[in-house]
Structure 1
């Protein structure tokens, strides 16, 4: 009997390309995309990832509408658009990766929040995602008139939304929901969903379209 290449206790039943052997279903389910750096081609990872994104996308969108509704009511449409642009950047960063956690997204957004703070903060290091979000922000304000106050407010809304959707038993709960949300509700051209680094103008189902809200 071949033992699991991860725990060396249970019987290995699934082929694990990352570890080069057979892995038990328990270790596969518990550690894939976290402690095991699965390749994107792994059929078990792809099936699980697709299921989680689809399962959480509708719930995520409903919560997203509630979180952004105050901005919508105040006609702060560019702030909502900026939030959507940050989501696209996060989607692009993680779309073809099999690793990544909500903590990483939180750290990147906290970094972005500090960068737009009126108080100068000297940053020594940050993550790749943090740098990407900062670049997206710089590109966005070149095209769209969004002042510092509204930018800070948008980042705070997204941060609060993330913090309310973290899950102690699933370190990718928010990330799964966001990836599914962008895939399901954002009207992105095909090349933007497939090409790394694509810059697009987001189009998303808005609160009035879903709930019939009046402006």
Structure 2
């Protein structure tokens, strides 16, 4: 009997191009994308992608809500807005890219954090997503400066974001767990925002609701979306 190359216990019944052999249906369903770097042409990938993204999105939701609460305590609505911008940009950039990896998001956060440091010295060219995130940040800062977190707080927000994304992503090589969870969460919990981003790609005035409890005396942040009068196509 050919055992599954992932769990080494159950019988391998499906050909897994990522592992170069057979995988059992259980491991294929549980670990595809989340822990196994599935190639885009895998016949089992497309059938289970929506389910996998939804399942990961459900796992992300409570952790994300808790993280938003921590950011609110750290720097209020503006700290929340900074990470929300990262989420929106990441969703818009990776929603149709099956080869996107969490490491690209982490690298983008780290590059943005370095660029905000007073000691930052420009070095090698940035990775593609990192450059994209930086440009979106600069655009947002120009268009809505009143919603930007103070410069001295921004590095701490980004450091915490790196930790949050990395911990959810896990240790798997080429993990896509965070990205797939984010995509699944937005498409399931906020389909109107997902549809708008898919159609228009306009990320500058969209906010994915964070569902956090504001600190005492704080205000609930205004949620921008397709129906918001502040939104412009």
Matches within 5 A, 1:19-30: 26=23, 29=28
Q: Contact 2:39–2:99 at 8 Å: present in 1 too?
A: yes
Count of paired positions = 197
Q: Contact 1:65–1:206 at 8 Å: present in 2 too?
A: yes
TM-score normalised by the chain length of structure 2? 0.68
Q: Contact 2:38–2:45 at 8 Å: present in 1 too?
A: no
Q: Contact 1:13–1:25 at 8 Å: present in 2 too?
A: yes
Tell me the residue number matched to 2:184. Answer: 180
Residue of 164, 168, 171 corresponding to 1:165: 168
Name which of structure 1's ranges 69-78 and 104-113 shifts more when overlaid on structure 2. 69-78
Q: Contact 1:38–1:98 at 8 Å: present in 2 too?
A: yes
Tell me the residue number matched to 1:193. Answer: 198
1:138 paired to 2:142:
no
Structure 2 residues not aligned, in runs of 5+? 1-11, 219-233
Q: C-alpha distance in 1, partners of 2:103/2:194?
A: 29
1:38 paired to 2:40:
yes
Tell me the residue number matched to 1:55. Answer: 55
1:154 paired to 2:157:
yes
Q: Contact 1:192–1:200 at 8 Å: present in 2 too?
A: no
1:54 offset after TM fit, Å?
Answer: 0.6
1:119 paired to 2:119:
yes
Q: C-alpha distance in 1, partners of 2:33/2:47?
A: 12
1:194 offset after TM fit, Å?
Answer: 3.6
Tell me the residue number matched to 2:87. Answer: 87
Tell me the residue number matched to 1:6. Answer: none
Q: Contact 2:68–2:210 at 8 Å: present in 1 too?
A: no
1:163 offset after TM fit, Å?
Answer: 2.0
Residue aligned with 1:188, SS: helix
Give the 3 Å change call, closer, same or farther, for CA 111–102 of structure 1 in structure 2.
same
CA RMSD of aligned residues (A): 3.6
Q: Contact 1:57–1:177 at 8 Å: present in 2 too?
A: yes
